[in-house]
Copies of this chain bind each other. A is one copy, B any other.
Amino acid sequence: MTRFALRIEFDGGPFMGLQRQATGPTVQQSLEDAAFAITGEQVTLHSAGRTDSGVHALAMRSHIDIQKPFEPKRLMAALNGKMRPDPVVVTACTIKPDDWHARFSCIGRAYEYRICNRPAPLTLDRGHAWHIAQPLDHQAMHEAAQSLIGLHDFTTFRSVHCQSASPVKTLDRLDVRREGEWVIIEAAARSFLHHQVRSMVGCLAMVGRGQWAVEQMAKALEARDRQALGLNAPPDGLYFVKAIYPDEE
Contact = CB atoms under 8 A, between A and B. Distances in A.
Interface of A: 9-11, 56, 58, 73, 76-77, 80, 84, 87-91, 118-124, 126, 128
A90 B11 contact: no
A238 to B, nearest CB: 12
Contact of A9 (B77, B84, B87, B124): B124
Contacts of A58: 124
Contacts of A126: 11, 87
B9 A120 contact: yes
A124 B56 contact: yes
This chain's copy number in the assembly: 2
A120 B56 contact: no
A121 B80 contact: yes
15 contacts: A9-B123, A9-B124, A10-B123, A11-B123, A11-B124, A58-B124, A76-B119, A76-B120, A77-B119, A80-B119, A87-B123, A89-B120, A89-B121, A89-B122, A89-B123
Nearest to A128: B124
A89 to B, nearest CB: 4
Contact of A120 (B11, B91, B119): B91
Contacts of A91: 118-120
A35 B26 CA distance: 41
A100 B42 CA distance: 66
A87 B124 contact: yes
A88 B123 contact: yes
A76 B120 CA distance: 8
Nearest to A9: B123
Nearest to A133: B77
A126 to B, nearest CB: 6
Nearest to A127: B124
Top 3 A-B pairs ranked by shortest CB distance? Answer: A89-B120, A87-B123, A11-B123
